[in-house]
A = this chain, B = another copy of it.
Amino acid sequence: MASTTETYTLPSTPHPSRQTRGESSYRPKKAWQSRLSFLRSKQPTGSEEQLSRSNTRQSTASSRKDEWWRIHYFQGMINDIRRRAPFYWSDWKDAWDYRVVPATVYMYFANILPALAFSLDMFAKTKMSFGVNEVLLASVLGSVVFSIAAAQPLVIVGVTGPITVFNYTVYDIIVPRGTNYFSFMCWIGLWSLVMHWFLAITNACNGLKYVTRFSCDTFGFYVAFIYLQKGIQVLTRQWSTGDASAYLSIMIALLVLGVAYIGGVIGNSILFHRIIRKFIEDYATPLTVIFFTGFVHIGKMRDIELQKLPVSKAFFPTTDRGWFIDFWHIDVGDVFIAIPFAILLTILFYFDHNVSSLIAQGTEFPLRKPAGFHWDLFLLGLTTGVAGLLGIPFPNGLIPQAPFHTNALCVTRIVSDDDESEAKGHTRRVVDHVVEQRVSNLAQGLLTLGTMTGPLLIVLHLIPQGVLAGLFFVMGIQALEANGITQKLVFLCKDKALTPGSDPLKRIERRQAIWYFVALELFGFGATFAITQTIAAIGFPIIILALVPVRTWLLPYYFTQAELNVLDAPTASKFTMESVGGVHGDLEIPVVGEGGENEGRSSLEDGDEAERGEVGKKNDLEPSSSMPNRGAALRRTSLLSEREGMELKSLRTRSRSNVRPE
Contact = CB atoms under 8 A, between A and B. Distances in A.
A300 B241 CA distance: 14
Contact of A274 (B303, B416, B495): B495
Interface in A22-38: none
A500 B271 CA distance: 12
Interface stretch (A116-124, A245-253, A544-552): A245-253
Contacts of A450: none
A304 interface: yes
A333 interface: no
A498 B423 CA distance: 10
Interface stretch (A100-108, A204-212, A424-432, A512-520): A424-432
A270 B499 CA distance: 8
Copies of the protein in its oligomer: 2
Given A242-B244, A254-B258, A498-B270, A503 B418 contact: no
A424 B418 contact: yes
A542 interface: no
A493 interface: yes
Given A274-B495, A422-B501, A423-B502, 15 more contacts: A239-B300, A242-B244, A251-B251, A254-B254, A270-B494, A270-B498, A271-B490, A271-B495, A273-B496, A274-B497, A414-B498, A417-B424, A418-B421, A423-B500, A427-B498
A424 B251 CA distance: 40
Interface string A403-444: 000000000001011100111111100000000000000000
Nearest to A420: B421
Given A424-B417, A425-B499, A426-B424, A303 B251 contact: no
A425 B300 contact: no
Contacts of A501: 422-423, 425
Nearest to A249: B247
A243 interface: yes
Interface string A272-307: 111001000000000000000000000010011000
Nearest to A502: B423
A424 B500 CA distance: 6
A304 B243 CA distance: 8
Contacts of A239: 300
Contacts of A498: 270, 414, 416, 427
A304 B242 CA distance: 11
Contact of A271 (B304, B424, B494): B494
A421 B304 CA distance: 57
Interface string A378-391: 00000000000000
Contact of A244 (B244, B254, B271, B303): B244
A426 B423 CA distance: 14
Which residue among A303, A427, A495 has the maximum number of chain B CB atoms within 10 Å of its CB?
Answer: A495
Contacts of A427: 498
A426 B421 CA distance: 13
21 contacts: A239-B300, A243-B244, A243-B303, A243-B304, A247-B247, A247-B250, A250-B251, A254-B254, A270-B494, A272-B493, A272-B495, A273-B495, A274-B497, A417-B424, A417-B426, A421-B421, A422-B501, A424-B500, A424-B502, A425-B499, A425-B501
B258 A251 contact: no
A272 B244 CA distance: 39
A587 interface: no
A255 interface: yes
A491 to B, nearest CB: 10
Contacts of A300: 239, 243, 246
Interface string A161-192: 00000000000000000000000000000000
A247 B258 contact: no
Contacts of A425: 499-503
A498 B246 CA distance: 44
A433 to B, nearest CB: 20
A277 B495 contact: yes
A16 B237 CA distance: 66
Nearest to A274: B495
Interface string A293-330: 00000001001100000000000000000000000000
Contacts of A244: 242-244, 246-247
Contacts of A243: 243-244, 248, 300, 303-304
A500 B270 CA distance: 10
Contacts of A417: 424, 426
Interface string A456-498: 0000000000000000000000000000000000100111111
A421 B246 CA distance: 52
